[in-house]
Structure 1
């Protein structure tokens, strides 16, 4: 059986967890939390990074920091995970869904201006498959209209746009360390703050609405409840696990890119014969090999391919169902038809990609996909 994903362990996860346990402090904001946060601040060149228990939590912190109120409008792609929208729905926002680009599933920046009203508060972009949105154009639009930009960089660790790390361009950003991501801790995330106005408040929200972090640094002589917040910080056990992964980022990335390139090489004949479309990486963007996907010609073809591979013990999976047509949101959606989003929802198929994917298994995946299209 070739699974879609298999979490990779570097070997030091349990060692560091044991260190955390033996330190006598396994609640949040201990030694490993601080090491991970310092790592992200240095690697991304950002003002502040705060570990969270999930990317969802980091996005919910973004919504609180932006002071989203009932009736505020937030623009985001429809082709994304539900957490992107939920974080803002919970604060009372009206979600304005945008279409995707035709060449990749990222938000179509050329459609943003038409969606902005006097109620628009923020634009949330999602770097799908770790490939950057067109951030220069998006930031220009946001600055013109005095809007905030949040980068949902859940899939975008170690990826860049014009040399800038993803997560360091918008006002705020959120990363995921779910077990399906390149770097994982089972669950986990990080909030990235690039704007000075959010730094002090972010720690307060992170620490249940208290100024506890300032107290432990000796900046105040006591701490108390000073704002809204929740328990967003992870335990030291999660942070210790994550640290073992971060130490091996370069090694993990090199192997994933090797696997990605092998798929691209092995399947390119299908694109040349117009049987499928393969991922495109824009000139200004890097590829962090978060996923490898192909686009079938129809929902029926994709369904048949999934079944064909499953019969051969290969797990390939589709991805997001368009949020604007979801059971929760469908009755609320008032916008135009989002054709590109619906096309990706119907035709995109993700292939197995994980650190320990053996070469012979990948060859088998490619062989079976070629066989399917040669038969049809």
Structure 2
């Protein structure tokens, strides 16, 4: 069986984990935590990076930092993982869901402004498949209405938005805050794990406090206060040094990981070209305002029945392909809270999108089998 995903190991993970254990410091915010955070701050120009136990943790920190309260409204796409919404629902927010673009699962920026009310506090942007949203338009809307922007960049590590002047801006550096995931389905992994990026200078100090259970412990260890105490709400968001050590081994090999994934992505694009030209499927594409980090490769199967047939046939050939999100606006939990708008594009991708195997160790012969299987299945 060709799996959908296989976590990549660089070979250095156990060495660094052993080093962390030998140091006598395996709780969070030690040597490897600092190495990872500094890596992101220096490579992408992020103002402040804080490793977390998950991207979910980072999103929950963002909701706390924005002082989300009952009655506040938050705008976000319906086609996203539940954590994007849950973090803000936990604080009492009402979610106003945005439909996807007709040709891409990312939210349609042209629909955002009509959802803004006096109660709107934030726009949460999801860079689906790592592909940049139209951040210049989103930031212009947010600035005009004095709203916060949180980039859910769970899938968008090492990717860039290209503005109208041709300038590249790292995803995660544009909004007031951003969140990343290092779950083992992502490009760079630590099993579980995430990171909060804080770009708004007014939020920097409080972010560290929330990260450290509501205490000013981090400032204390830097010698900035004589003692640390409970000064705000917070939780135990920071991961252990064991998790950070694993992540550091991955970051050292980022260039290799990214280039390998891009090569696989491009091979899918080329190998399935004829099926696209003959109208059998659509494949994912990269708009001119985004670079490509090859987080995933998906096809649009056009109907739910067709997708189910393709999944079944691929499985019979030893290929494990999977669908993705179900629209949050029509979920069992939130459908009664949704305002009734039909979000047809989001529902289309819920029913028709299929993700193909994509991981660093995917052998050429196995990828050929995936492509050849699709070619043999679809004309039937």
Under TM normalisation by the shorter chain, which class is it?
Answer: over 0.9
Answering whether residue 160 of structure 2 is matched by residue 160 of structure 1, we say: yes
Answering whether residue 188 of structure 2 is matched by residue 183 of structure 1, we say: yes
Task: Tell me which residue corresponds to 2:289.
Answer: 284
Task: Tell me which residue corresponds to 1:210.
Answer: 215
- Give me the CA root mean square deviation: 0.5
Deviations 1:203-230 (A, max 9, x none): 0000000000000000001000000000
Answering whether residue 218 of structure 2 is matched by residue 220 of structure 1, we say: no
Answering whether residue 199 of structure 2 is matched by residue 199 of structure 1, we say: no
Task: Tell me which residue corresponds to 1:140.
Answer: 140
Answering whether residue 341 of structure 2 is matched by residue 330 of structure 1, we say: no
Distance 1:280 1:291 in 2: 11
Distance 1:210 1:193 in 2: 18
Distance 2:341 2:358 in 1: 35
Task: Tell me which residue corresponds to 1:257.
Answer: 262
The counterpart of 1:275, out of the listed 259, 277, 280, is 280
Task: Tell me which residue corresponds to 2:321.
Answer: 316
Deviations 1:277-332 (A, max 9, x none): 11121111011000000001100000000000111111000000000111101111
Task: Tell me which residue corresponds to 2:76.
Answer: 76
Asked if 1 retains the 8 angstrom alpha-carbon contact of 2:130 and 2:159, the reply is: yes
Answering whether residue 246 of structure 2 is matched by residue 246 of structure 1, we say: no
Distance 2:362 2:346 in 1: 30
Task: Tell me which residue corresponds to 1:31.
Answer: 31
Task: Tell me which residue corresponds to 2:4.
Answer: 4
Q: CA deviation at 1:105?
A: 0.8
Answering whether residue 70 of structure 2 is matched by residue 48 of structure 1, we say: no
- 1:60-99 aligned within 5 A: 60-99=60-99
Distance 1:123 1:332 in 2: 18
The counterpart of 2:355, out of the listed 350, 354, 361, is 350
Distance 1:297 1:200 in 2: 48
The counterpart of 1:170, out of the listed 170, 175, 180, is 175
Distance 1:274 1:122 in 2: 39
Distance 1:335 1:132 in 2: 28
Answering whether residue 128 of structure 2 is matched by residue 123 of structure 1, we say: no
Asked if 1 retains the 8 angstrom alpha-carbon contact of 2:213 and 2:236, the reply is: yes
Q: CA deviation at 1:335?
A: 3.5
Deviations 1:219-276 (A, max 9, x none): 0010000000000000000000000000000000010000000000000111111111
Distance 2:273 2:117 in 1: 43
Off by >2 Å, runs of 4+ in structure 1: none
Asked if 1 retains the 8 angstrom alpha-carbon contact of 2:280 and 2:379, the reply is: no
- Count of residues in correspondence between the two structures: 375
